[in-house]
A = this chain, B = another copy of it.
Amino acid sequence: MINSIKERRTIRKYLQKDISVDLLNDLLSASFRASTTGGMQLYSVVVTRNNDMKEVLSPAHFNQPMIKGAPVVLTFCADFRRFTKWCEQRKANPGYNNFMSFMNAAMDALLVAQTFCTLAEDEGLGICYLGTTTYNPQMIIDALKLPELVFPITTITVGYPNEIPTQQDRLPFEALIHDEEYHDYTPNAIDSIYKYKESLEGNLKFVEDNQKETLAQVFTDIRYKKSDNEYMSENLMKVLKKQGFCG
């Protein structure tokens, strides 16, 4: 299994072939065995198969074609609502409308999402994470009718692969590991860590096509801009408050 994970790649193009309800439910059910904060299972999964719903979700994900192209879209939500309702019905005074509780629920949801992905890939399916979920949370909340204490944390598109893309590069192993304590990066270490990534033909072309001087500038000036990040940070906090977290 280590070896199959080492060969994995994100899949963005899918065959026009449904995933059976039985297989999908089996995968989800198994993924619910993932570790969860205090056994509370602070998540919900919204399953999208309906084309009309995909149309509604699509703009929230900047119209990335995976939404409409995948047979199944899964929105993983941090969910303290179910647990809170249970407390209220059992003479208990819940206190989960806060940032810490949101983080606990978000972590629960992400562990389930990733377990699902590993299992789905092991069954021959391909997946793609859509980070756009937290960029436009309100559009997703509206589309999926998410009530208070429920927050969309990530989205996965899933289907049978219709491509074998080149595997994405990874930084050298040593760059990501710290023995006993954090060892900060010297300028030489940074050069060495990013050398391979910067040398890749696709990335060189990326720099050229975008008329930039360095690959890092493609990230800072185009893909993950300071102004966008700042806008989205404020928006994310605002929507978190609106959903009743950070109360």
Contact = CB atoms under 8 A, between A and B. Distances in A.
Interface string A16-30: 000000000111111
Contact of A110 (B86, B110, B221): B110
Contacts of A83: 219
A104 interface: yes
Q: Considering the complex of A and B, which 4 residue pairs feature the smallest CB-CB distances, nearest first?
A: A95-B226, A90-B216, A92-B216, A90-B214
B119 A182 contact: no
Interface residues of A, number: 119
A236 to B, nearest CB: 6
A95 B220 contact: yes
Contacts of A127: 35
Contacts of A196: none
Interface in A203-221: 213-217, 219-221
A35 B116 CA distance: 13
Query: How many copies, total?
Result: 2
Nearest to A187: B89
Interface string A139-171: 000011111001001100000000000001111
Interface string A27-46: 11111111101111101111
A75 to B, nearest CB: 9
Contact of A171 (B41, B175, B236): B41
Interface string A230-241: 101100110000
A125 interface: no
B230 A173 contact: no
B46 A91 contact: no
A117 interface: yes
A191 interface: yes
A213 B176 contact: no
Nearest to A237: B99
A48 interface: yes
Contact of A32 (B122, B170, B193): B170
Given A5-B33, A47-B178, A115-B118, 7 more contacts: A45-B178, A82-B193, A86-B193, A91-B216, A95-B225, A96-B226, A107-B153
